[in-house]
Amino acid sequence: MTSRIIDGKVHASTLGEKISASLPAFRAKTGRAPGLAVVLVGHDPASEVYVAAKGRMARQLGMESFEFKLAETTSQQDLLDLIARLNADDRVDGILVQLPLPGHLDTLAVISAIDPDKDVDGLHLVNAGRLASGLPGLVSCTPLGCLLMLKAELGQLSGKDAIVVGRSILVGKPMAQLLLAENCTVTIAHSRTHDLPAKVRAADIVVAAVGQPEMIRGAWIKPGATVIDVGINRIERDGRKRLVGDVEFAAAAHSAGAITPVPGGVGPMTIMSLMYNAARAAHVRKELPPPEL
C-alpha cells in the first residue's frame, strides 16, 4: 500500500480562500479590515521567522497586521500593559503572544491577561473551558488545522477510533476534545502509556504530537489508518541536518491510508488556522456570522 500524502499547503489554500471571501462584507459593515496583533519578546530566530510569516499571511488575505517586537529584557508589567492596550483597541480583533517567552516572564499570567474573545491562540482558560464544555470559542490553531484536514480527507469521523500521542495544552488535550466532539472514541497516550505500539495499531486515526523524532514507528500503523504528524524535529543524519516528524514517515507510508509529511503538512494549516481565528474573532466581536469552515 502507498499512502496518500495529505498536502497541508493545498488545504491551507482552500481555507485561505474562504477567509478572504468573508472580508469584503466585514469591511462593508465595519469600515475596516480585521486586525491581528502579534507580540514577540526577544530575538529567538525561529520565533522571528514565524512572526514575519504570520504578518505576511494576514496582509496577503486582506487583514491588518500589527507587530510588536519587544526587548529580551522587557518586564512582566510592561508586557501586561501592552496586552491591556491591545485588549482595549477596537482595531485589534486578535492577539497572539509568540511562545516561548523569556524565562523571567510568567507565560500563564500573560496568556490569562489576553481578552478571551481576542485569544487567537486558543490558550486562555476561558477558551479551554468552552472547548471542554462543547461551547463555541477560539480553538488552538494546530489542533483546529489537524481536524480540518481529517474531515477533508475522511468526511464523517463519527465512530472512528483515534489516538492522540501527546498531552500538551497546546496540541494534545485540545485535539482530543475536538475528536470527541466529532464522536470519535479517543485515547490520549503519553510517556507513561503501557504498550503504546498496540494502542497505536488499534487506531483508525493517529495524531502524533509528542516531540520526539520518529517515535511512532511505521510498523505500529494500522493498514489504512490516517496519520497526522504534528512533530517538527531537527536532526542530523548522513552528515546533513534534516526536519523529521514524530512518525517514522517512510515506513508508515507503506501502511497508512493517508499521512501528512514533515514539512508541508500540519505547519501551513497551523498558520492558516490562526488567520481563521483572527477573522472569526473579528466577526463575532461585531456580531456578524463567522467565515464558514
**Whether residue 98 lies in the annotated active site:** yes
pLDDT digits (tens, 9 = 90+) for 116-152: 999 999 999 999 999 999 999 999 999 999 999 999 9
Percent of the chain at pLDDT > 90 equals: 91
CA separation, residue 136 to residues 9, 127, 178, 184 (Å): 27, 9, 12, 19
* pLDDT of amino acid 1: 58
**Whether residue 54 lies in the annotated active site:** yes
CA count, 13 A, side-chain hemisphere, 254: 7
Dihedral, 242, 246, 247, 248 alpha carbons, nearest 10: 40
Percent of the chain at pLDDT > 70 equals: 100
Query: Among residues 98, 204, 222, 229, which one is catalytic?
Result: 98
**Whether residue 156 lies in the annotated active site:** no
Give the distance between the most distant pair of CA atoms in the chain: 57
| CB neighbour class for 272 (10 Å; exposed up to 12, middle 13-18, buried from 19) | buried
- Domain 30-118 in CATH: superfamily? Leucine Dehydrogenase, chain A, domain 1 (3.40.50.10860)
Sign of torsion over alpha carbons 167, 172, 177, 182: negative
Instruction: Name residues of the chain where pLDDT drops below 70.
Output: 1
Q: Cell 524535529 maps to which residue?
A: 233
| Architecture of the structural domain at 141-267 | 3-Layer(aba) Sandwich (3.40)
Q: Cell 466577526 maps to which residue?
A: 283
* pLDDT of amino acid 256: 97
What residue spans in the chain does CATH classification 3.40.50.10860 cover?
A: 30-118
Cell reading at 15: 481555507
Dihedral, 6, 215, 174, 13 alpha carbons, nearest 10: -20
Query: Among residues 117, 119, 121, 204, which one is catalytic?
Result: 121
What residue spans in the chain does CATH classification 3.40.50.720 cover?
A: 141-267
